[in-house]
Structure 1
């Protein structure tokens, strides 16, 4: 059985909640119950979002579409129905036009539509995400948010004429949302998006957020860029709007998100209305009153009065709600091959189905819309299928006939608490099923009685620890072996005897043993073991990435009388087997039919032996050590295993996968059957393989277990394209709603859930389920439900949301300026040197394209300076186009280039190189510069690339800004913390040192609000190790661990913080706080737009000051030793 679910964690993250916040959570829960009662009285309660209003109308989002209703309420009319999501509406100042974000043409862009409805008009054409924000006060321009020219994870505000044309950026280095003042001379805005967010396809549910990305409100004059900053008081400030010369905004500084006002004249901040229910999500104004939404209800608010709920009726066909039959062939997440390989059972969209490998019919085993079934496995006789089902509220094991739905189903209760189960493995005699759960246990279920027994002790470590891997039944079903992590994090093999219930450890913890597999002949137990993988026991630690572990294949003789599998052959003739004893015939009785050969009992005498005695039964098989993974055994010493491939092509679009190898004990030969596998299973008879391929278009293959696999063979590929299932959205949404709560109960690191009343909240919020009219609405409800946990990394998204077909717009990797009615090149981005996989279309040698050149035509079509150049590059990504280039004083010429789909990495690399050169220039060559995009693979590579290339510098500036996190970067700290040990005097050349790969002078680290997760922990460690000062802004404040959560029924994703971080001093740290800088520096718009980087400049100044006071050590070589006849004269 191949299953996508895992029990390990992948990402970082904790601070305990104070008593006041604990009260807030329970109080908010009481508010939810009151709201639920109100919702129940009005059926159904819709989830209306992002309201805006004009003098006469309201516009809002529901079901992923834009709706318009009278301002006082009443019947709403849907004015957008495009495939994909429409959101973020805003009225033009005259109230006649609505701007919004849509996906009509295969990209996320800004559109406009008349308030009475009509054909949407596209206003932006860049391949990046362009999101509508609002209008200029005179209605001449639309304001939108885009990261089209951003160097990292931030956006800017742009404007485009309401009549169309090219977009230009507002003179703000960073901006996420805002509103121009009525005179158009200044803007109130959030420089960065707060650390919590929602849209229909993804969300971050973080209530009571107090980290660095709380969303400050700035007021900047657009002429001169003088900036005023609204004082903050702990909570997130966002959604600023102008009303009556004052700035109103939302803030969570005193409990639930409420409405505040800032008076620029007096500098005073005032609470306008204290919210005592769920958080308010958005705020807008028509210039006279405010409008906001809270848990799907729209309110208007005149300052000084109480909010007024607006009653709105929605009528429409609501197509996403209708039950239907749909193709679910792309949703296969687990598969199991039948005993002889004739059929495959799959999990798809929460249903269990079987389909033939060649000829035959497809059968639906479950047909239970609204119930989640997972992870099928075949019985040894091929007549039944077991799977996990949540039909009863908690996951249980069901056993059904392989003949299809409608047959009797046996149901077995498992745990009394929420848990998730994986890797079901049926015993060969069909009497038991072994399985594992997310609570680190390995279980054996006896089918005749329903008795559930622990196979032995559970894993000692969960979370980020290397998980145990593999379990196996002996051919006679009398013995069971599984791997468990021991006290040193190394997995060891445990042998369980079914008859006695005794469990014995059979490998010591001096090597990492995994993937046990019994020989089908019952002579040997095969397994994988590594003696050099110790450094990888905690993959969260970046230091684990330094090691390249290998594994060898081992065998244990199960009985003292069994010779070693590598015993030398004597070359003797083998004696024939003795003839069977003759059976006396009885003429009165008919002859008996031939009986099926009985499975011989396996004689295992390991239980009474010491580990040293067992070790003397072990032998390494003659396969070269490599990064082996799965291991399966057949008859007569035939093994199948995966060997990880090396990533030879760094420009490859997909992971290298692994090679599927078949090895035979007889002849000691190995053969590669397939080279792009990510997993496989062997059929019970050992004759067929089920293989999962790698890549974006991964497929399932069923093939002969003895021959190389040809994916092009039509008889090999499993035909999942025709899988159909009945979809009942309302039932599925209710199931997934229950699932998100069950996931948190099973995985959340704190069994008290930070004081959140999960039972009360689940019951209260379920009142909104009947009003859900789209999968995006369900994500909104999930967001509201999960907010109460008050923790970072709690996010989700996706699911069965209709998506527009993407059109890959092309980009040339350049900045443009309009000159004499043409678009001319202001900068060509090349990403610097030594990045072999970067693509910079205009920087290719031989093109002779320079800054100042103008593009007058693309593919022969004239390009004018008053139109958006991106209109001419739609659909051109990765396809050759012809540019007509004009250069002053020279005739026009044509060049052929290949546009790219995204400039994000190219612009980021250019920014990094600019920063490196700036640090070098400002410091006179004394300081180096290292940027860390994350603390995962990219950050590991970037650190090694830039740090060691600059160890000749006297000090270093480490840039952690916008670090996206990943791992705990202990490796970086260890390298930066290296101290001088010794000097070395060679005969020729300069004096060297140990460690040589070190920077011994001062170090300064840059941080900001976007330094997140592992990007939080890195500066925390930097300070803890006293490596130098931190400069910039307080970090994001998210330091919990996530990963290993089974997907939702329709493929939607969800996380659960399952690991919490606390300091050696016994304090929850960083989570929902962030790491504050030693020297706080804002990126003031006037300084940044003038070409500066205040944070970087301050870091350089501090490093140079420290360098002057405490320069790095220099060698003080003593005189060479001198020896005389009687011994040393000078040493």
Structure 2
């Protein structure tokens, strides 16, 4: 291999002998060449997110595309003159074609959903692609469209991800679903040795009669990437170890090994009809029938813009912002750098300026002279303290000797000590004058799925630290740590939940947010926690026994309100921080909880859901209030309130607040509000928050004090960043992974072996590929990642009308209108609105005067219309009866189609059962599934039995609530004088329950059927589930905003056995979705479930009330 940094050229050289080499071998090449496809004379492949071609014999590659975003999935037309591929030229994922000789790419799909090139028809007239455009849930289907564009035609397969047509065009070999360990450049799932329910299968289906045969699997192995060659089907499989090449003879139905791989995994397979081409860890090989793989020498030279050092504005990559003590500046974490930004005027200072080092979590010292942050400069995170002006020595304080992540540093008021916590649930105090590191109290009891956090606050004299710690009962209590003695005292009861402690700056009180009904909501993994909206009060604790109550009656002689410092007008510029107060009188240490509680009072603040508390000037409190609870559509909306002990009134300062930070003197605050500049356009990412530095004593005015990040420019060196992120990914696994042995994977060896590939990476998408390969050996679900700085084009959001179409007389004519959606106010069918004169049978003649015919995609006319009013001309194909209607297209039809599918299933179950069975679908086990269950189950609780459909369930929480409701038994009947007999429980379906699951249901969608079977609630029908129950909690982001998980919580059953992970939950009755049956409008899995439930009803009808004779008592 030759690697020339000066020209960013890579010469990738290989021979057949390298097939047995590991990634760390000196001879192995390091460029990442992917997804090769082959014609009679050339090989096309993906490198650096672009398409390249090279002669089949090898040599210097030519770049074919240079589009913004990723071009991928190339497939040669049968004549070898054209490539179909997947591109992002207009910010959407669509199918394009380009002449192999060079030229302008032609876009041939326009739907705002994702369309990806898959192959060609044997005659070269049509391009096959996959799309979720018509899907009711999380699956794709195959479509065919003319190579010049036009109206796509759905292939008659219920689910299909990738496939290849036979040479005569009469059959197709295809995989119904994407492999569970997929890679698509911007995201990946690293699950090696996968054996769950979504193990990839290959179906062979005739396109006339839809007769289907599945290529035989071995022990749940993965079969993928089928291609036809010489009447045989060749495919990839891991049935005997690393992914190797096999053949299937449709005539004899025999499977044979073609070539056994003993090295890294093969990731793709293609053919030109005479030979196979595949890639393995960035190398490209060809293989002829009966031969041995031959490597293709590929010399790749290009400018590789991803790798160029450059100056980049990182305002959209801000991770945290904190206010300086004087409110003149803010410290910002962005792109792994710590920067000082003026609140109003001045220059931005980069305090770290270390492109290959990650710095996190800035904290400004109260004296205004220093900024503390965590840095991985040494290879492990340490606390660094830098001068705030960027001049002078940076002091470095080593922390733990093992990989550890640290969070939320808090300076003591004397600017000497820093408190923080780590991912191992420990609290720490570091004395920056001596370097002494002290663990504070005991570690938290519970972590795992919830975000690791500990609320900490210093006393004004820096001698005490109050911190929160969760206990065995999962409630959080406050503890008071004495810095001098090193002892801790619990100061709040375990019988309630206490959070967000803060000291009054006058030194008399400690305030906190407390709840007496938080217990049921402490463990958010349980869906039952969604039933409760905890409320809080705000409390004050007198730090000394002689301190009067802060809310004593104002006219009572026994005690007066504590004195307050008069509020001064807001400062017009930086003010010096007042010196720290002298020692305050605290006598809580050693006191009993009963004694401390007698000194605790609730402040006269309404009981509400509060989410934060900070003390300002003496006697002044600022706190966040949840005004809209978190739900399926996003995080909770919060308001910022102010309360003074003097007035004893709550004042609303701001709405839609994400966070706030007070200046040292309490007069000024930094407030982050959501959706700055208005809501994002349909189909575009949410807007970043707006930050403003404003007076703390009055409601915020629109536009007031906005902090500008227009000059938040950082000089980045991508290759230095990628080297850091490579180390970071392994460090995260060592710090977080639930199994200290990493499932037997030798992470150190893997890191060494793949280091040459990481060093040679010249694009961010290739770095994702290296991450994918590096993590695969850990063999665990939920291990995934993606993102990062990957160039994308400006998105043009396409509009959708909520309709299906058919081609008639050269026109796009409506065959179905979706909607209206009753009781789903967030879902709108554009053509189903009152007053819109649109009917099935109408043809769309024009959009905004642009004629629409079937030689174009109707979505081409609807580009850029999402959320905007457009004029449609509707009428017959001939134009008769034409009329104009005004509609507002939507950015996505997914919810419309999903709700229509649910309603269709409900009606079908109702019809098949004669109204005796309920039907409930659960899209996930989070807020969406919780809402859907409550909506559909209770509305049908008068039925005698139920079909619970969890196909395609995306997981989320443990659905204990659903299991509890399904398991309800009859307790009693109630006989009123008038009306029907009632029962307890009122809402229960007492007859049989049948659950349907499939291979796409996973995570919480694995746990739900597992619990269903464990509790013996009924029969499970369908297919084995995905099999992922090693869960994940929140993880720190990578330097450029990319993400990688580290599964940190493993599931085992009450019998002490690991279960479900990498296996899935097997049905009691296995049912396939036969393509012919589905094409005929049937749902075999649903029909089977109904039949089983009806048989159970016949065998054991549900109990009916038998009112006894009314009692007659003796008359006296």
TM range (shorter): over 0.9
Matches within 5 A, 1:713-724: 713=704, 716-724=705-713
2 CA distance for matches of 1:684 and 1:164? 64
Task: Determine if the alignment matches structure 1 residue 691 to structure 2 residue 676.
Answer: no
Task: Determine if the alignment matches structure 1 residue 1047 to structure 2 residue 1037.
Answer: yes
How many pairs are equivalent?
Answer: 1072
1 CA distance for matches of 2:179 and 2:141? 14
Deviations 1:769-824 (A, max 9, x none): 23211111111111111111101111111100000110011111111111122221
1 CA distance for matches of 2:636 and 2:588? 40
1 CA distance for matches of 2:910 and 2:870? 38
Once the two structures are TM-superposed, the CA of residue 140 in structure 1 deviates from its matched residue by 1.1
Deviations 1:349-375 (A, max 9, x none): 000100111122211100011000001
- SS of residue in 2 equivalent to 1:1111: coil
Task: Determine if the alignment matches structure 1 residue 323 to structure 2 residue 314.
Answer: no
Matches within 5 A, 1:259-408: 259-404=245-390, 407-408=392-393
Once the two structures are TM-superposed, the CA of residue 633 in structure 1 deviates from its matched residue by 0.7
**For the structure 1 residues 878 and 729, does the alpha-carbon distance in structure 2 shift closer, same or farther, using more than 3 Å as the test?**
same
Match of 2:638 among 658, 665, 677: 658
Which has the higher mean CA deviation after the structures are superposed, 1036-1045 or 88-97? 1036-1045
The residue aligned with 1:601 is 583
Give the alignment's TM-score, normalised by structure 1. 0.93
2 CA distance for matches of 1:966 and 1:670? 37
The residue aligned with 1:105 is 90
The residue aligned with 2:955 is 965
Matches within 5 A, 1:704-719: 704-713=695-704, 716-719=705-708
Task: Determine if the alignment matches structure 1 residue 636 to structure 2 residue 618.
Answer: yes
The residue aligned with 2:5 is none
- SS of residue in 2 equivalent to 1:761: helix
2 CA distance for matches of 1:1003 and 1:759? 49
2 CA distance for matches of 1:467 and 1:511? 20
2 CA distance for matches of 1:850 and 1:194? 40
Matches within 5 A, 1:181-330: 181-233=166-218, 234-330=220-316
Once the two structures are TM-superposed, the CA of residue 872 in structure 1 deviates from its matched residue by 1.0
2 CA distance for matches of 1:399 and 1:450? 12
Once the two structures are TM-superposed, the CA of residue 831 in structure 1 deviates from its matched residue by 5.5
2 CA distance for matches of 1:917 and 1:809? 32
Task: Determine if the alignment matches structure 1 residue 175 to structure 2 residue 182.
Answer: no
Once the two structures are TM-superposed, the CA of residue 845 in structure 1 deviates from its matched residue by 1.4
2 CA distance for matches of 1:945 and 1:891? 41
2 CA distance for matches of 1:687 and 1:1041? 44
Which has the higher mean CA deviation after the structures are superposed, 566-575 or 941-950? 566-575
Deviations 1:518-569 (A, max 9, x none): 1101101101111101001210000000011011101111111111112233
Match of 1:852 among 830, 836, 841: 841
1 CA distance for matches of 2:509 and 2:455? 16
**For the structure 1 residues 140 and 106, does the alpha-carbon distance in structure 2 shift closer, same or farther, using more than 3 Å as the test?**
same
Matches within 5 A, 1:845-924: 845-887=834-876, 891-924=881-914
Instruction: For structure 2, list consecutive stretches of 5 or more residues without a partner in the other structure.
Output: 1-17, 563-575, 676-685
1 CA distance for matches of 2:53 and 2:254? 36
Matches within 5 A, 1:762-801: 762-801=751-790
Task: Determine if the alignment matches structure 1 residue 979 to structure 2 residue 969.
Answer: yes
**For the structure 1 residues 1034 and 598, does the alpha-carbon distance in structure 2 shift closer, same or farther, using more than 3 Å as the test?**
closer
> CA contact under 8 A between 2:785 and 2:1045: conserved in structure 1?
yes
The residue aligned with 1:9 is none
The residue aligned with 2:3 is none
Matches within 5 A, 1:234-633: 234-404=220-390, 407-465=392-450, 469-570=454-555, 599-633=581-615
Once the two structures are TM-superposed, the CA of residue 862 in structure 1 deviates from its matched residue by 2.0
1 CA distance for matches of 2:844 and 2:97? 29
> CA contact under 8 A between 1:340 and 1:687: conserved in structure 2?
no
**For the structure 1 residues 653 and 883, does the alpha-carbon distance in structure 2 shift closer, same or farther, using more than 3 Å as the test?**
farther
Deviations 1:162-217 (A, max 9, x none): 23221111111211001000111000000111212111111111110101111110
**For the structure 1 residues 85 and 467, does the alpha-carbon distance in structure 2 shift closer, same or farther, using more than 3 Å as the test?**
closer
Once the two structures are TM-superposed, the CA of residue 34 in structure 1 deviates from its matched residue by 4.3
The residue aligned with 1:734 is 723
State the superposition RMSD in angstroms.
1.9
Task: Say which structure, 1 or 2, has more relative contact order (CA 8 Å, 6+ apart).
Answer: 1
Once the two structures are TM-superposed, the CA of residue 244 in structure 1 deviates from its matched residue by 1.6
Matches within 5 A, 1:70-149: 70-149=55-134
1 CA distance for matches of 2:886 and 2:555? 71
Deviations 1:388-424 (A, max 9, x none): 00000000000011111x5211000000111110010
- SS of residue in 1 equivalent to 2:1086: helix
Once the two structures are TM-superposed, the CA of residue 41 in structure 1 deviates from its matched residue by 4.3
- SS of residue in 1 equivalent to 2:656: strand
1 CA distance for matches of 2:232 and 2:1074? 22
- SS of residue in 2 equivalent to 1:921: helix
- SS of residue in 2 equivalent to 1:199: coil
The residue aligned with 1:1121 is 1111
The residue aligned with 1:586 is none
Task: Determine if the alignment matches structure 1 residue 667 to structure 2 residue 647.
Answer: yes
- SS of residue in 2 equivalent to 1:36: coil
Which has the higher mean CA deviation after the structures are superposed, 654-663 or 884-893? 884-893
Which has the higher mean CA deviation after the structures are superposed, 965-974 or 770-779? 770-779
**For the structure 1 residues 812 and 597, does the alpha-carbon distance in structure 2 shift closer, same or farther, using more than 3 Å as the test?**
closer
Instruction: For structure 1, list consecutive stretches of 5 or more residues without a partner in the other structure.
Output: 1-30, 578-593, 1127-1131
Task: Determine if the alignment matches structure 1 residue 1022 to structure 2 residue 1026.
Answer: no
2 CA distance for matches of 1:476 and 1:614? 21
2 CA distance for matches of 1:595 and 1:823? 71
2 CA distance for matches of 1:191 and 1:291? 22
Once the two structures are TM-superposed, the CA of residue 867 in structure 1 deviates from its matched residue by 2.6
